[in-house]
Structure 1
Amino acid sequence: MKVSMGSLNPAKIEGARRALLRLYSDVEIVPMPVRSKVPAQPFGKDTIKGAIWRATSAFSQDVELSIGIEAGLFRCGGAGGYLDFQVAAVFDGTHHTMGFGPGFAYPPSVIEEVLEGREVGEVMEGISGIKGLGERGGAVHFLSRGAISRVELSEMAVLMAMIPRIRGELYG
């Protein structure tokens, strides 16, 4: 199966590859440089819009599916008042299916800086001392001391987005 990916981020690409290899024996992912039409630090619905835009923009007649993944902050209770989710959109040229990966909280000090206009990645690179953190294990890898990575969050988001395709007979 040939799939385009609306990102050049290695963690997102590997997460999508792992998800699809759970479902298909042969997967080729073609990364595409796609500019998101949402703010650099998306919140709430902008995160969903970003994933849809990435998947739609990456689609071509040369592929069966395209995938967009966008990470963003969603308002809720708990530490800092926001959770970070990876949102995946899978597009077949006609319909999108959506999925979320597990959400996690940032330290309140990170959220404070983000609400003042900084990007999570920038703040977390400063805290961790790791350049390109978001393209490696991600902030979740640093915060969890390696227990989970951004690759795994992306993998789960793509798998959740594939459920209506796996059981298409139930979704119409």
Structure 2
Amino acid sequence: MIISVGTKNPAKIAAVEAVFKDYSNDIVSVDTDSGVRAQPLSDDETIKGAVNRAVAAFKEFNADIGIGLEGGVHKSEAGLFLCNWGALKANGLEPIIAGGARIRLPDEIAERLLEGEELGPVMDEYTKRQNIRKKEGAVGVFTNGRVDRSEMFAHIIKLLLGQYEYQRNQLENNPK
């Protein structure tokens, strides 16, 4: 089975590898375009980015499964929340979508994002470190390391894989 991941981000690739470790497969990655802003500012935009990445990854390698993962933010009355979405594309199925954990971002970070900056560089400046998005991510920083970006995306991938397995079982047991 070929599983194509629409990113070169090591945290996202590690999440896919962890979840698919029991499958006989080859995991390949490709840098895909999300088709949305570098900093998605809503659930809908973040979902669209994940679906676009999954479909592009699926097509790029003629894969059995294409995975797209996208991080963004979503504004609510309670503040600006980190959001993460994933999509899985496979032959004969519409893209499967799942969302992950949410945490409220500190106002000083939220304000900068709402002014047009991207979370990755803001977090690098905030932590005085480089490539936070490829390591623990903002979620790792703001949860004191209890949940890192790879773990957060692994949860989404488990949700995607479970839905995929369910839908495949339904198709096999109830052919039209």
Percent identical among aligned pairs is: 27
Provide the residue aligned with 2:82 in structure 1.
84
Following superposition, the deviation at residue 9 of structure 1 comes to 0.3
| Residue 33 of structure 1 pairs with residue 31 of structure 2 | yes
Unaligned ranges ≥5, structure 1: none
Provide the residue aligned with 1:4 in structure 2.
4
Unaligned ranges ≥5, structure 2: none
Provide the residue aligned with 1:102 in structure 2.
101
Following superposition, the deviation at residue 170 of structure 1 comes to 5.8
Counterparts of 1:57-68 in structure 2, within 5 Å, are 57-60=56-59, 62-68=62-68
SS of aligned partner of 1:26:
coil
Following superposition, the deviation at residue 139 of structure 1 comes to 1.2
SS of aligned partner of 2:55:
helix
2:77 and 2:129 map into 1 onto residues whose CA distance is 28
TM normalised by structure 1 equals 0.90
Counterparts of 1:35-50 in structure 2, within 5 Å, are 35-44=33-42, 45-50=44-49
1:93 and 1:122 map into 2 onto residues whose CA distance is 36
**CA shift in 2, pair 1:133/1:166, >3 Å:** same
Q: What count of residue pairs does the alignment treat as equivalent?
A: 168
SS of aligned partner of 2:74:
strand
Larger RCO (CA under 8 A, 6+ residues apart): 1
In 2, are the aligned partners of 1:137 and 1:151 still within 8 Å (CA)? yes
Runs of 4+ aligned residues of structure 1 deviating over 6 Å after TM superposition are none
1:25 and 1:12 map into 2 onto residues whose CA distance is 18
